[in-house]
Amino acid sequence: MTTFVLDTLAYAETLKAGGFNEQQAATQARALAEIIDRQMSTKAEVEAHENNLRRDIEALRLEMKRDIAETNARIAESKAELIRWVVGAGFLQTTLIIGALMKMGGMV
């Protein structure tokens, strides 16, 4: 844990000036010092947390990149299928028109 220096004597003196007795002021100063000491993060803890965040962000970035690539592949497949349908419909339409013209022209 990182050590946070709290001037407990000055804090206790402030409490006594505010109406606490000596025992109350000393107990309050020790309690506050313990709370601060427990709540302080070390530099290593902060760096570990930052590294975890960086790792999580990188994992999300890679997942997003993969999802975009999959979406692009699905779009390409859809385009190819749409082109096949349009070409097929064009051939069918051409065949029907030629058939109708031949029938109308008496060629059949």
Residue 70 has pLDDT above 60, yes or no: yes
Average pLDDT of span 77-82 = 96
73-105: burial string, b at 16+ Cβ within 10 Å, e else: eeeeeeeeeeeeeeeeeeeeeeeeeeeeeeeee
> What is the percent of the chain where pLDDT is above 90?
55
Q: What is the pLDDT of residue 39?
A: 78
Whole-structure pTM value: 0.49
At residue 46, the 3 state secondary structure works out as: helix
Helix (H) or strand (E) holding 53: helix 43-104
